[in-house]
Amino acid sequence: MSVAASPAVSLQIDEQVERAVRIGLGSRPKTLPPWLFYDAAGSELFEQITELPEYYLTRTERAILESHASEMVALAGGGNRLRFTELGAGSAEKTRVLMKAALARQDGLMFEAVDVSATALLAAQARIEREIPGVRVALLEMDYTNGFELDACDAGERRLVLYIGSSIANFEPEEAARILRKLRSQLGAGDGLLLGVDLVKDESRLLAAYDDVAGVTAAFNKNMLVRMNRELGSDFDLAMFEHRAVWNETMSRMEMHLESCADQRVRFAALDWEVEFLAGETIHTENSYKFRSGDAEAMLAEAGFAHAGTWTDKRGWFEVCVGKAEKLGLGTRE
Ligand code: AVI
């Protein structure tokens, strides 16, 4: 944290936010990293997105988990007790069905919820422990993208890491591969990873999911501007930027942008800095990669996981894969 020295505006400035904004808006084309979406208002808007009729991802993945939870858990556990570790757990809504399936095979379940913010986790912890007797929730407040350490499991216990919601899709492929490799290095041979990814489908369906009629995704995207105005003292006029959702076929990803409606200049009073925008110029705020059959298994294999199973919905819109950590070379954890 640093306190800005500007005489006009004095704010507590998060250095990580300032650095990301200076780098992103100083680049050509302009970009901002998607983690900037998730302040309290952005996290709330994302929860609303998951319930939109157009945003099929959450509903479809939940249906896959509901249909196959017992099978997934049996495959992951084999003859062992399971411990769950969910990355980016948030409210852990979809995980409940897996918890119940695990509790049908074993007494009690340790659920480690990993997230950057303890706020969402605290509410989830109380609710889960109240509503699903036998689950003990441990909160691990950390940014799993920057490396993390997990405790070793108890004897006779295996860890199943849950990485669902297509969260891996918001990272560039090399970054996603790095995260999975890092994760693998924290696991013992035979531990599992359950990965949920969204699949390539009809373009109109994808566009609708990222540009809903009610405008919730537009508000989510523009929340970056709101956040910069509040935290960095900028004067973005929200009416002067349009939400744009684009299907990039070549890169197999949905992109979100904020497009400037005119030539304009935005002043960051707290940073004593100005940024110019041309009419039609965009800030690229998010990529959401869409996968094809076999891609998730290949990602798992590359990170050191043997494929154990893949499940999809009837329409082939979303996929859940389970991989098992393979034995590593000498000098590693197991
Ligand atoms: C969190 N993540 C998987 C969402 C996605 O679909 O890429 C974020 C999101 N962006 C727009 N709508 C939802």
For residue 254, the ligand 1 atom closest to its alpha carbon is: 7
- In the chain, what is the greatest distance between 2 CA atoms, to the nearest angstrom? 65
In short, whether 206's Cβ falls inside 6 Å of ligand 1 is: no
> So what's the pLDDT on residue 265?
98
Q: Enter the pTM of the model.
A: 0.93
Residue 13 or 146, more confident: 13
For ligand 1, pick from 286, 291, 318, 319 the residue to mutate: most ligand atoms within 8 Å of CB. Answer: 286
| Rounded distance between C-alpha atoms, residue 163 and residue 302, angstroms | 16
Residue nearest to atom 3 of ligand 1 (CA): 167
Q: Is the pLDDT of residue 2 over 60?
A: no
> So what's the pLDDT on residue 1?
41
Task: Tell me which amino acid residue 185 is.
Answer: S
In short, whether 167's Cβ falls inside 6 Å of ligand 1 is: yes
Residue 11 or 206, more confident: 206
In short, whether 169's Cβ falls inside 6 Å of ligand 1 is: yes
Residue 147 Rama label (left phi>0; alpha psi -120 to 50; beta): left
In short, whether 50's Cβ falls inside 6 Å of ligand 1 is: no
> So what's the pLDDT on residue 115?
87
> So what's the pLDDT on residue 11?
77
Cα–Cα distances (Å) from 268 to 35, 177, 234, 280, in that order, read: 20, 35, 4, 21
> So what's the pLDDT on residue 137?
95
> So what's the pLDDT on residue 141?
87
> How many Å separate Cα 207 from the centre of its chain?
19
- Confidence class for position 50, pLDDT limits 50, 70, 90: very high
Nearest residue to 104 via CA among 126, 131, 135, 125: 135
In short, whether 166's Cβ falls inside 6 Å of ligand 1 is: yes
Half-sphere CA count of 272, side-chain side, radius 13 A? 7
- Confidence class for position 5, pLDDT limits 50, 70, 90: very low
Count other Cβ atoms within 10 Å, centred on residue 238.
13
